[in-house]
Amino acid sequence: SSSLFAAVEMAPRDPILGLNEQFNADPNPAKVNLGVGVYTDENGKLPLLKAVAAAEKLLLEAPKAKGYLPIDGIAAYDKAVQALVFGDDAVASGRIATVQALGGTGGLKIGADFLKRLNPGATVLISDPSWENHRALFTNAGFTVGTYPYFDAEAKGIAFDKMLAALNAAAAGTVVVLHACCHNPTGYDLTPAQWSEVIAAVKARGLVAFLDSAYQGFGDGIAEDGAVIRAFLEAGLNFFVSTSFSKSFSLYGERVGALSAVSGSKEEAGRVLSQLKIVIRTNYSNPPTFGATLVATVLTTPALRAQWEEELAGMRVRIKAMRGALVAKLQAAGVQQDLSFITRQKGMFSYSGLNAAQMQRLRGEFGIYGVDSGRICVAALNEKNLDAVVRGIAAVL
C-alpha cells in the first residue's frame, strides 16, 4: 500500500532562508551575507547585549523551578511591554490587552486568529511590497490578502497618494497591516503628516489597523519610532499592535514578542483578553519563560534599562554610519547616480534599486548575498566587508 504522504508535494523553500543555505554552501572566503534580517556588530558578529547578559546572570544566580506561565504570559512582562509601546498613561487606562507572544510573528498570528473569529469575512491589506511572511500568515489564518500601493521605484520613496486612495477605497472592517517604523523590505517610512492622513482614513472608513512593530529603536529612537502608535491611540481608534524584541534585544532565538489590542474600555479589554487566551490555549497552551523574563528584567531594572537604551542607540547609530559610508564609498568608486535615498531609509534594510539580474551577479561573481528584490541588510555591513560590497555594487550598477 502507498504511504499516507505519497501525494505530499515539496513546498517551495523560504526565499530568504534558502538564500542563507546557499550562502553557507558558498566556498568564497570573501562572501558577505546581506540577505537575512539580522543585526551584526562592527566585527560581523551577532551581539549579546550587555544588558541582556547581565539579566541572564541574575537569573542564573537564582535558578527557579520551571512552572507553567499564565496563558497570557508573565504579568510583569506584559505590563512593561505595554508601557514601552503605549506609555504609562495608557497602561493606567486599563483598556489595552497585552499578551506575551512567540516573537513578533507569534503576535501577528494571535491577532490574525482572533480577528478571524471577530470578523471572518474581512479582507486583509498588506503593503506592496511587505515582509514576506505577512501574506502567508494572514492567508493561513483564513483571510483573503490583498495589497495597498506603497513603494514607488521611480520616486525612490512611497507612493503615498496611491496608498491613501487604496485605504479610502477599502470596505469597512478591512484589516490594514502597517509597519510602525523601519519598513521591511524598503526602508521607507511615512512622515508624521502622512501618518495623520492614514489615521484619518482608517477612522473615516472604519478600517482595522494592525501595526507591526518589529524594529522600535532602529529608526530614530525608541520614542520617535513609537510615536505613530501613540498617534493611533490619541485618535481614539481600536487597533492591534504586534511587538518583536528579536532585533531590539538581539534575542532572535528566544522568541520574545507581544500582541496588544487597544479596546474602548477596561471592561471590553477584559473580554478581549479572555478571547486572546483561548487563541493561545488552543495553539500552544502558554508561552516559554526565559526570554520574556530577560526582557522584563531589563525593562524594569533602571540600570539595565539605561544600558539597553544605550546599546540600542549604538546599533541604530552604527547602521546609520554604514549607510553614509556605503553611499560615500560608492560615489568615490565612480558611481554617478544620486544614492542619497540610502541615507533617507530607516532601519535594517535598504531597497538598493538593484534589479534581480544585478543581485544575482553580485551573488555569483562577488559572493555578496542580497534578496532578488534588491533588498540588502545594511545592519550586516561593517568596516571589514564594506569595501568588498562597494566593489561588487559598483561593478554591477
Write out the catalytic residue numbers: 131, 212, 247
User: Which residue lies nearest ligand PLP, judged by its C-beta?
Assistant: 103
Q: Shortest distance, CB of residue 322 to ligand PLP, whole angstroms?
A: 18
Q: Shortest distance, CB of residue 267 to ligand PLP, whole angstroms?
A: 31
Q: Shortest distance, CB of residue 27 to ligand PLP, whole angstroms?
A: 28
Of 104 and 370, which has the nearer Cβ to ligand PLP? 104
Q: Shortest distance, CB of residue 244 to ligand PLP, whole angstroms?
A: 3
Of 126 and 269, which has the nearer Cβ to ligand PLP? 126
The one-letter amino acid at 104? G
Cβ-based neighbour number of residue 309 at 10 Å? 15
Of 257 and 392, which has the nearer Cβ to ligand PLP? 257
Cα separation, 41 vs 11, in Å, equals: 34
Of 103 and 370, which has the nearer Cβ to ligand PLP? 103
The one-letter amino acid at 100? Q
Of 184 and 373, which has the nearer Cβ to ligand PLP? 184
User: Which residues are at the interface with ligand PLP (CB under 6 A)?
Assistant: 37, 103-105, 131, 179, 184, 212, 214, 244, 246, 257
Residue 66 phi, psi (nearest 5): -100, 75
Q: Shortest distance, CB of residue 131 to ligand PLP, whole angstroms?
A: 4
Of 101 and 330, which has the nearer Cβ to ligand PLP? 101
Q: Shortest distance, CB of residue 136 to ligand PLP, whole angstroms?
A: 12
